[in-house]
């Protein structure tokens, strides 16, 4: 692992700390994107700050920054918004202080993913300092402030805006904290899909002493949930874990022990692999519930379809860079939650690689200084490999 270099054109730890000090709890920006745009402009980027909104949502700031006008366009993608810090008292260092303690930078977003954005910028700064702005290619940053929230006014709209301008991306690296334990252990090449189901079962209310005059919704719900959970959804696929269905809550709210409930509700979440789409899952759910019998309504919220970007140029590029810098051969994985890669993969080949995810969304989120230096080296190596010096 390389040591932290001073005399860099841009220090990634300083930049990450500055970003952490702007408390951009989703969907607020609090100056994070304008600050980043200022840094990138000083490096020579042309920056387009885009605010998107629609009825019922808060406006969100987004940024597309590009340096270079020709050649292949390598895009670094990520988000400046962060999840709320939760109980402030529980943090050993204030979550928006952007402070170093021991060998780590602490703060909300240090790992997910202001740290990686700082590494994007620092790696590019080093590459430009070495190669000059006249290299044959383009480097861009696609940054949203709406990844941790509803993701309506973020990457999706920014990609539409790029398409409308005829702006092409040739390859993309998403800087989510993909590593499970140590820097270099995991590159993500796809994600499982995620869907919530909201099931309401209708019965007939009645007296528990006269069950023949009622239809117990609780019994029907239990039978339906048993049908949904009694067998695995699948055994997994070449690049994916088995799909899973987890019941999140069962709600009847009946306060009387002598009343048969007339309605019963449950919410469940399904994480699904590339054997399924949300449409085929909906079919399977309805068929399975119909077999169990009873009247019900079933509503859905699909937060993302599963997708796979088969191992290829970008994952190979990242693997080579990771091996060169860390000596580790990263696993190509599709585990974990979803990310904005679910939108970008339709535009260009991509893979995801960032910091270590152990503390993301937790109290005392942090990134080790060595990892920030190492990730900067990895992104810099990616740039060198993608744009070979002629
Ligand atoms: Zn993230």
39-76 per-position pLDDT tens digit = 999 999 999 999 999 999 999 999 999 999 999 999 99
Q: How far is the CA of 130 from the centre of ligand 1 (A)?
A: 30
The residues that are catalytic are: 81, 147
Pair type for strands 193-202 and 366-368:
unpaired
Q: Could you report the per-residue pLDDT of 123-163, keeping only the tens digit for each?
A: 999 999 999 877 899 999 999 999 998 889 999 999 999 99
Q: Could you report the per-residue pLDDT of 182-223, keeping only the tens digit for each?
A: 999 999 999 999 999 999 999 999 999 999 999 999 999 999
Q: How far is the CA of 279 from the centre of ligand 1 (A)?
A: 26
Q: Does residue 5 have a pLDDT over 70?
A: no
Integer Cα distance of 129 and 256 in angstroms: 73
Q: How far is the CA of 80 from the centre of ligand 1 (A)?
A: 9
Q: How far is the CA of 360 from the centre of ligand 1 (A)?
A: 8
Beta bridge partners of 301: 196
pLDDT at position 149 is 84
**To the nearest whole percent, how much of the chain has pLDDT over 90?**
92
Q: How confident is the model at residue 24 (pLDDT cuts 50, 70, 90)?
A: very high
Q: Which residue has the higher pLDDT, 152 or 264?
A: 264
For the full predicted model, state whether its pTM sits above 0.75: yes
Integer Cα distance of 191 and 239 in angstroms: 10
Q: How far is the CA of 372 from the centre of ligand 1 (A)?
A: 16
Q: Does residue 91 have a pLDDT over 90?
A: yes
Q: How far is the CA of 145 from the centre of ligand 1 (A)?
A: 11
| Residues, the chain | 390
Q: How far is the CA of 283 from the centre of ligand 1 (A)?
A: 31
CA atoms within a 13 Å half-sphere pointing along the CA-CB vector of 355: 32
CA 301 to the chain's CA centroid: 17
Phi, psi (degrees; rounded to nearest 5) at 294: 115, 160
pLDDT at position 164 is 97
Mean pLDDT of the chain: 95
Q: Could you report the per-residue pLDDT of 270-308, keeping only the tens digit for each?
A: 999 999 999 999 999 999 999 999 999 999 999 889 999
């Amino acid at each position: 692992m390389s040591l932290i270099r001073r005399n860099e054109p841009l220090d990634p730890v300083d930049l990450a700390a500055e970003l952490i000090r702007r408390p951009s709890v989703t969907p607020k920006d609090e100056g994070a994107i304008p600050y980043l745009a200022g840094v990138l402009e000083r490096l020579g980027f042309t920056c387009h700050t885009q605010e998107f909104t629609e009825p019922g949502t808060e406006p969100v700031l987004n940024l597309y920054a590009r340096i270079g006008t020709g050649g292949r366009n390598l895009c670094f993608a990520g988000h400046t918004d962060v999840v709320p810090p939760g109980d402030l008292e529980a943090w050993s260092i204030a979550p928006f202080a952007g402070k170093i303690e021991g060998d780590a930078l602490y703060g909300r977003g240090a790992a997910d993913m202001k740290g990686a954005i700082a590494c994007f910028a620092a790696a590019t700064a080093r590459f430009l300092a070495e190669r000059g702005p006249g290299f044959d290619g383009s480097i861009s940053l696609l940054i949203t402030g709406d990844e941790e929230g509803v993701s309506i006014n973020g990457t999706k709209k920014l990609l539409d805006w790029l398409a409308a301008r005829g702006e092409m991306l040739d390859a993309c690296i998403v800087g989510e904290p993909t590593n499970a334990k140590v820097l270099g252990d995991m590159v993500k090449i796809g994600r499982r899909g995620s869907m919530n189901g909201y099931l309401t079962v209708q019965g007939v209310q009645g007296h528990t002493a006269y069950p023949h005059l009622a239809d117990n919704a609780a019994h029907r719900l239990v039978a339906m949930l048993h049908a949904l959970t009694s067998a695995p959804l699948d055994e997994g696929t070449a690049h994916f874990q088995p799909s899973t269905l987890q019941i999140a809550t069962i709600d009847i709210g009946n306060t009387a022990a002598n009343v048969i409930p007339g309605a019963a509700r449950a919410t469940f979440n399904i994480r699904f692999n590339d054997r399924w789409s949300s449409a085929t899952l909906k079919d399977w759910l309805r068929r399975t519930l119909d077999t169990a019998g009873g009247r019900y309504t079933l509503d859905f919220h699909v937060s993302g379809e599963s997708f796979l970007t088969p191992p290829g140029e970008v994952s190979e590029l990242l693997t080579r860079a990771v091996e060169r810098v860390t000596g580790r051969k990263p696993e190509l994985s599709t585990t974990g939650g979803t990310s904005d890669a679910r939108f970008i993969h339709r535009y260009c080949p991509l893979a995801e690689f960032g910091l270590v995810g152990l503390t993301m969304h937790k109290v005392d989120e942090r990134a080790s200084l060595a990892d920030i230096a190492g990730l900067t080296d990895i992104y810099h190596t990616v740039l060198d490999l993608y744009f070979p010096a002629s």
